[in-house]
Chains A and B, each alone.
Chain A
Amino acid sequence: MAQLVQALVLGILIGGVYALMASGLTLIFGVMRIINIAQGAFLILVATVTWWLWRETGIDPIIASVITTPMMFAFGWVLYRTVVSRIRGQSASMSVLLTFGIALVIEGILNVTSGNKFRSATPGYFEQSFTVGSIHLPKPQVYGFLAAVVVLAGLYLVLTRTWTGRAIRAVSQNPSAAALVGVSATGTAALAFALGTASAGVGGSILSVLYPFFPASHYDWISRLLGIVVLGGMGSLPGALVGALVLGLAETLTATYGSLRWSTLVFYLVIMVVLLVRPQGLFGARLREDGVTA
């Protein structure tokens, strides 16, 4: 019983972190209809920077997200303005290929500059846990979860309470109507891309403590994130939240009762089953334009 509760709580903690990581991917898809394959590479980039900051200055890796988040926001904005915006209006497959290329460039740069080896930031509390009754909660997981929840709440407030947020949602629902009421689609897209990238700033910093990583780990991460987003419904923020929790739980339960070796396969299994049963995901709606354009 204690084992089950332990697995459930751990699953929720991990799910929270996954939710944060997936939010950037789903935000970018929602506004631009771009599947950002580079989102996983952004995470690994930030994790590497965080690891380096931690080693050089001793700053706590999770707190380092105060530095990495604005850095990634700026990076995302510049990347959008200089590269991604060039393929606006081209077919969806071109944007996939472009972001795939960006992911490879980041992987290659990390590989060449920092070497192809496993890393992990190990601050003092790395192996400590909080103990509640018979349940042990590893401190890194708890801190990571709290940081993720705070950032997700902040993101939610930005999207619902600010003019920028409303503009982003307007563009994601109807770009031409948004343009008619004076919302610049390009400007908004750049902001959304930057916000989505910035969320990887926090996510990557958390990742550096929770999981060992190396440059090519980004494939593993992008597949997890895609699994979450497919499960929740592409472009839906609440969907990403629920998808992340479900997959976080599925992963810890498989690891607890099955074996760790198979736990990552759960993601791929979920993707297949969801696409078979409900292609639009849990929260995705079939839109009028999905049916036919007449």
Chain B
Amino acid sequence: MNAVRLPGFLARVPRSHLVAGVFLLAALLYPVVNPWSPYTQGVALLMFLLAIQAVSWNIISGYAGYTSLGHSMFLGLGSYTVAIIALHTGVNPLWIAALGGITAVVVAVLAGFVVLRTRGHAFVIITIALLLAAQILAVNLRPLTKGSDGITLELPFWSKDFQNIPFYYVFLLILVLTVLFSGWIKRTKFGTGLIAIREDEGKAAAIGVNTTRFKVLAYAASSFFIGVAGGVYAYFITFLNPLGAFAILGSVMIVLSALVGGRGTLYGPLVGAFIVQFINEEATVFGGGTGTRVLIMGVLLVLTVLFLPAGLLPVVQAAWRRRHPEKVEFTDQTGALGRAGGALTRDRALDELQTAAAADSLVAGEPLLEIKGASKRFGGLVAVDDTDLTVRKGTITALIGPNGSGKTTLFNLVTGGMQADSGQIWFEGRRIDRMPPWKRGHLGLGRTFQVTRLFKEMSVLQNVVAPLPDGRWRTMFADAVSGDEAVRARELLDVVGLGRFAGQRAGDLSYGQQKLVELAQVLMLEPKLILLDEPAGGVNPSLLGRLTEVIRELNARGITFLVVEHNIPMVLELCDPVVVFSRGRPIAEGEPAEIRNDPVVLDAYLGDDWRPPAAQASAAERPELSTTDRG
């Protein structure tokens, strides 16, 4: 329901971009229309500066979820770089402002490489430490920075009549570039990967996201334009000292801006920056010193975290959506096949998967995955005990065994979620047990999880676009919203029959549907081997039928499966061979018929009340929920 009808091409542009465009136009025209208002221009200019920083901050702390409390450091680094060079060479700071950005990126990459290799809390600590260390360095490196005395720069070269209008436009230009940059990142697979890292970093690594590279790059990307702006800022204030350049209050305002506006959204930090800078300005006008402003910002930060954690923009958007609900695309229950051309694209996707799965020298029946003497202990508990296991190409190999027998741990060793204490793992003739998880994903090793781990805040389509089949930069910066990648994801959703749910939030799907989406996600990796961890757990019988059908279809196209499952009828019907796992090691392997009658297996796993084979035959035809189902 559109209240305002927009002409032609404008109607296709998202509303938020239109609003932003209107504001940009107003900002561009303002100094022309009203040139004699230096105060307002000065305030607007500082708003632009804060917005540049908040939008940049959002790349590492909003998209990727790694909070930086010391981001104003990059402004100081940019300022000092440009000021020092200008002082020694006499070049005008404006022409070399970009060098400030380069210094910022170099520092971000070095620091990022130190702290971002690991997960968790180290990053936030290092960001505070870096800011304060930069302050101390600026004070102590007197020959370079003139210490606490500070550096004074020449005044702008233009006539006083132009006031600060040139600065106004330079900051506005940098802001526009920053927003475009951030928006572009959000559209690429790089951006999708960053959001995946925020939602579930372990899962992101399992679908081929090189988390270290992504995070370091995001940190660097979040520093560049701040450094450039810092160079311009030095020229604007013409005086630099350590406490002013590396101001902690500056960092606070950056964080607060992004939080108030909505971290993780494109325009939220921009909106927030205007609000926060406005409050800051009012506080100064009404006589508040630094102390008062720190108090105000602190109170705002606490209140925002407690009562508006999502930020203004997402809250407003949610309210808008409630009042203007979107029409739900409804097709009949056959789903994919009911979609125009669905059957066709589905076949094409399957063919592509077949080509990818066949891209190796192996023939069906040769060992694809070989586990040799792998062990894993947790303290005194031996979860996997000197295990040997071979999965042959083209098979659907089952791994069954009682709870706690080490099956999931074995999966983690194979996909790289955990490191084996000893032993080797080979995939396609390559040793993989020391590779990071994403590299194994790039080789064609995919897995689903016992309890699905979709990125719940993303749409179903984004979930499927997120995986990276290889480590090339081209793949990383491919468009994820439209273009080939999105088309492919849509096709893969058709393969599992969920094409019509593409636009839904992944967390809203039923559990069984989530399992199918997770399978589609793995298919994006162009896998050769898929490890399924209890695919049937918690899935209703009709969806289970769909699932086994899809597995068979994919297997027919050359994809190998290793399946952990407690639903014995399904295993006996679908898989060959079946490996029985007990107490951290395989105790039997063979065709379903053999396993069904193996007394060792019956004793160790199935128990005494397992029905005799005669009664089995009819049960096997009709899959039923397993007795040990834990879904």
Residues of A within 8 A of B (CB): 35, 37, 83, 86-87, 90-94, 96-98, 100-109, 111-112, 116, 215-216, 219-220, 222-223, 226-227, 230, 234, 261-262, 264-265, 267-268, 271-272, 275-276, 279, 288, 290-294
Contact = CB atoms under 8 A, between A and B. Distances in A.
Contacts of B291: 107-108, 111-112, 116, 215
A9 B128 CA distance: 30
Contact of B305 (A101, A219, A262): A101
B27 interface: no
Contacts of A216: 248
B173 interface: no
25 contacts: A35-B125, A93-B61, A93-B124, A96-B124, A97-B255, A100-B301, A101-B298, A101-B299, A102-B302, A104-B297, A105-B299, A105-B302, A106-B298, A107-B294, A108-B296, A108-B297, A109-B295, A112-B291, A223-B128, A268-B129, A275-B122, A291-B417, A292-B412, A293-B453, A294-B450
Interface stretch (B72-80, B130-138, B362-370, B623-631): B130-138
Interface stretch (B10-18, B39-47, B113-121): B113-121
A224 to B, nearest CB: 10
B308 to A, nearest CB: 12
Contacts, number: 154
B475 interface: no
Given A35-B121, A91-B65, A100-B69, A219 B290 contact: no
A105 B128 contact: no
Contacts of A90: 309
Nearest to A115: B291
The size bracket of the interface on B is 35 or more
Contact of A271 (B125, B289, B412, B417): B125
A35 B124 contact: yes
A187 B298 CA distance: 27
Nearest to B66: A93
A55 B254 CA distance: 39
A234 B136 CA distance: 25
Nearest to B450: A294
Interface in B224-260: 248, 252, 255, 259
Contacts of A101: 298-302, 305
Contact of B126 (A83, A109, A271): A271
A227 B305 CA distance: 26
B111 to A, nearest CB: 8
B212 interface: no
Contacts of A102: 298, 302
Contacts of A92: 120-121
A104 B252 contact: yes
Interface string B411-433: 11000011100000000000000
B218 to A, nearest CB: 15
B255 A262 contact: no
A37 B128 CA distance: 10
Interface in B245-286: 248, 252, 255, 259
Contacts of A87: 305-306, 309
